[in-house]
Every structure is written in C-alpha cells, then in structure tokens.
Amino acid sequence: MPADLRSLRGLYAVTPEALSGAALCRAAEAACAGGAVLLQYRNKSSDAACRLADARALRAITTVCGTRLIINDDAELAHEVGADGVHVGRGDGDPAAVRRRLGPAALIGVSCYNDAALAREARRAGADYVAFGAMFASATKPAAPVADRARFAEVADLGIPRCAIGGITLDRAPRLIEAGADLLAVVSDLFDAPDISARARAYAQLF
C-alpha cells in the first residue's frame, strides 16, 4: 500500500469515454487544476494507438499537477505509461495479478458495487481502495443497480479509502461524505460543467 494512502480523500475525476486527444487533455488539465486528487482514464476503445497516446498525454499532465493517474482495467497500459495505478472492475482482472505486474507502490482500486463481502475479498487480494456504486441512477451506466450508502460504514474497519461512484452531483455529494465516502468518483457532473476547474474546486472544498 502506498504510504500516504490512508489519508487519501477528495475528488476522483473519471474521464468520459467520448473525450480523446486535445479535448481530453484540456478537460483533464482543468480537473487537475481544480484539485482532483485522482484522475482515471477510462476508454474501452479497441484503438490501442489512441489509448496509448491519450494515456501518455494524461501522464504528462498529472505529473505536472501532482495528481495520481489511474488507468481503468488495463495493467499493461498503466505499466507502459508509468501510471500510478489501475482500477479493476468485475471480471476485468485479479488485483493480485495487477500488483505483481505494477509493483508494491501501485494504487489498485476495485469496483465492489453494493457488496461489502466483495470489498473484503478485494482488500485481502491487495486492493488499496474499494468503490461502491452506482450510488444514484447514472447516465454513464444506466443499467447499474443502485448501492446502499450503508456499505461505507460497513467496511470502515478495512482501513483503506472508500470511493463512491455513479450519478454523483455536487448537491448529492455531502450525504455521501457524511456516510463515509473518502473519494467521490465523478464523470458527467464534472466534465459536462461549463467550468470544469470551478466544479472540481467546489468538490474539493467539500473535504
């Protein structure tokens, strides 16, 4: 586990799949400048060259800003660009295998949906943070079942950050933090905002 992980709290910016190239870079720079503590590159495209170019550009941006770069479900891409870690979803890989590939300093997160038992299993496998959601109906994943905010308190004893994701907006965020969420993973409400930096700052100020 990275040494300072227990104190990791704040906005977790997750890039929309529709963004790439210069538009992605502008949006990411704005989110990082506004105070995002983590930036996740999420792109399920089969265009490997595009994904590599985007990830390299984001690595440069996050290095300057001091934001950790997380790659969604691709340990090899994370390794190639020197990302800080990987987020693993259901059926997308074994946290222990990701750890072996990326080493002890890598930040590994695991999607646990609405399942505290899955979070405990992920922790045993080496996860550095666990994510619950969708917390609310989400345009990004409209079919995702809604998770109970009680999960955050239920796994507080794991001693690692707990992340909320799915349908999060600025007005909904305080109740998630009050329930125990350490990280708020936000897509649409951040990147669809007219001023991404200002929206990121507003989230950061909640912590």
Contact 109, 88 (CB under 8 A): yes
Q: What percentage of the chain has pLDDT greater than the value 70?
A: 96
CATH code where residue 100 lies: 3.20.20.70
* Cβ atoms within 10 Å of 119's Cβ, excluding its own: 25
Q: Which long-range contacts (CB under 8 A, 24 or more apart) does 189-196 make?
A: 190/11, 190/13, 190/31, 191/13, 191/15, 191/16, 191/19, 191/27, 191/31, 195/30, 196/27, 196/30, 196/31, 196/34
Whether 44 has a pLDDT exceeding 90, the answer reads: no
Strand partners, 171: none
Closest CA to 135 of 158, 154, 163: 163
Helix (H) or strand (E) holding 111: strand 107-113
Q: What pLDDT is recorded for position 138?
A: 75
Mean pLDDT along residues 146-157: 96
Whether 140 has a pLDDT exceeding 80, the answer reads: no
Mean pLDDT along residues 18-33: 98
pLDDT band with cut points at 50, 70 and 90 for residue 177: very high
pLDDT band with cut points at 50, 70 and 90 for residue 144: confident
Domain limits for position 173? 8-204
Q: What pLDDT is recorded for position 6?
A: 63
Q: Report the domain count for the chain.
A: 1
What burial class does residue 39 get, using C-beta atoms within 10 Å of its C-beta: 0-12 exposed, 13-18 middle, 19+ buried?
Answer: buried
Helix (H) or strand (E) holding 122: helix 116-124
Mean pLDDT along residues 148-164: 97
Whether 152 has a pLDDT exceeding 60, the answer reads: yes
In this structure, is residue 2 part of a structural domain?
no
Q: What pLDDT is recorded for position 2?
A: 63
Q: What percentage of the chain has pLDDT greater than the value 90?
A: 88
Q: What pLDDT is recorded for position 1?
A: 55
Which pTM was predicted? 0.95
Mean pLDDT along residues 177-192: 98
In this structure, is residue 35 part of a structural domain?
yes
- The residue type at 74: D
Whether 163 has a pLDDT exceeding 90, the answer reads: yes
Whether 26 has a pLDDT exceeding 90, the answer reads: yes
In this predicted model, what pLDDT tens digit does every residue of 49-101 receive, in sequence order? 999 999 999 999 999 999 999 999 999 999 999 999 999 997 777 899 999 99
pLDDT band with cut points at 50, 70 and 90 for residue 19: very high
In this structure, is residue 1 part of a structural domain?
no
In this structure, is residue 193 part of a structural domain?
yes
